[in-house]
Amino acid sequence: MSLEQSDVVDTRPKQRQSYRVNKLEKRIRRATGQAIEDFGMIQDGDHIMVCLSGGKDSYTLLSTLRYMQRVAPIKFTLVAVNLDQKQPGFPEHVLPEYLQAEGVDYRIVEEDTYSIVKDKIPEGKTTCALCSRLRRGILYKTAKALGATKIALGHHRDDMIETMLLNMFYGGTLKSMPPKLVSDNGEHVVIRPLAYVREKDIAAYAKAMNYPIIPCNLCGSQENLQRKVIKEMLHTWDRQYPGRIESMFRAMTNIVPSHLADAQLFDFRGLQRPEDFQGEGDLAFDETPIDDPTRFLTEDDRDGIEPQQGIQITQL
């Protein structure tokens, strides 16, 4: 029996799509595993509270940690926690339905921080600082009540770069969001397992996985304007100068205190004779060499991109 042409279904686009999602998933998992390893984020017996806002980053974090749980040679447990801040229009059913369907242990904590913030902050003023402080306090309290040994947040590589630039532009300090830190109340270890993961990978993955995303602007507050500007600048650079963002992130993992100007970090005063310096000498008079940043791209990203030879200073 011969098939009519219209009976033949072309499955290739679907296969190509699932191949792409597999690759993306592998890349996210690999980067997460690497960050967990590099920073010693998880230990045998850890009970990790995963903060779930309902945004793309937190869903990706949760599903990647669940995968790690299945394949890691150590045992650790996860509990997903969402804080319902009682913003008008918050779809309360979305996360419980998703988490139940996935079989994830979870808690929904209900605290009306929205009313507190509205009450305390005059109309038109930005509410994020107080809102975040209240949220942080509640999450720490919850972690304690749950006996969590670590708190996992969904910040990714691009959040870290943006924060570093924000601190440089407005804070007069060279610091970012570390992959691992002790909470400001001194009681918790906070980890960011997506520290090596690119935001564009998370966005594509969340879309492919069809996560039930909860919009983050329910409170009606404006996104931090300075962060928005930096985000747009980074997007433009990413399009125009492939490899620049990768190089910037690489720089955050490759710091040379003797080549900055923080006397607390490097003993410049003690450096009086060449033999006082432990390490290799360096250029004193020459320009820093400008090299091709596309070398920091992955094989996939490099497809179709010309190496940037003979880069001119005017391009920077």
Of 118 and 200, nearer to ligand SF4 (C-beta) is 118
Q: Least separation, in Å, of the C-beta of 219 and ligand SF4?
A: 3
Q: Are 197 and 56 in contact (CB under 8 A)?
A: no
Residue 296 backbone dihedrals phi, psi, to 5 degrees: -90, -5
Q: Reduced to 3 states, what is the DSSP secondary structure of residue 159?
A: helix
132 in contact with ligand SF4 (CB under 6 A):
yes
Stretch that binds ligand SF4, among 74-82, 123-131, 271-279, 300-308 (CB under 6 A): 123-131
Classify burial at 286, counting beta carbons within 10 Å of its beta carbon; exposed 0-12, middle 13-18, buried 19 or more: exposed
The correct pick among 149, 221, 247, 258 for binding ligand SF4 (CB under 6 A) is 221
Count of other CB atoms within 10 angstroms of residue 234: 18
Least distance CB 44 / ligand SF4 (angstroms): 35
Q: Is the CB of 54 or the CB of 179 nearer to ligand SF4? A: 54
The answer to the question of residue 127 lying near ligand SF4 (CB under 6 A) is: yes
Smallest gap, in angstroms, from Cβ of residue 300 to ligand SF4?
33
Does 131 appear as a known binding residue? yes
- Residue 128 marked as a ligand binder: yes
Distances (CA, A) of 153 to 25, 51, 178, 270: 19, 6, 11, 40
Q: Which residue(s) pair with 189 in the sheet?
A: 150, 182
Q: How far is the CB of 235 from ligand SF4 (least distance, A)?
A: 20
Q: Which two tokens stand for residue 175?
A: 């610091």
Q: Is 43 helix (H, G, I), strand (E, B) or coil?
A: coil
If one asks whether residue 82 binds ligand SF4 (CB under 6 A), the answer comes out as no
Q: Do residues 160 and 153 lie in contact, with contact meaning Cβ atoms separated by under 8 Å?
A: no
Nearer to ligand SF4 among residue 123 and residue 276 (C-beta): 123
Q: Name residue 210's amino acid.
A: N
Judged by CB under 6 A, how many residues of this single chain contact ligand SF4? 6
Q: Does 22 bind ligand SF4 (CB under 6 A)?
A: no
User: Nearer Cβ to ligand SF4, position 109 or 208?
Assistant: 109
Tokens of 250: 């690489």
151 binds ligand SF4 (CB under 6 A): no
Helix H segments across 39-146? Answer: 56-71, 94-102, 113-120, 128-146
| Nearer to ligand SF4 among residue 66 and residue 227 (C-beta) | 227
Binding stretches for ligand SF4 (CB under 6 A): 127-128, 131-132, 219, 221
Binding residues for [4Fe-4S] cluster, by number, are: 128, 131, 219
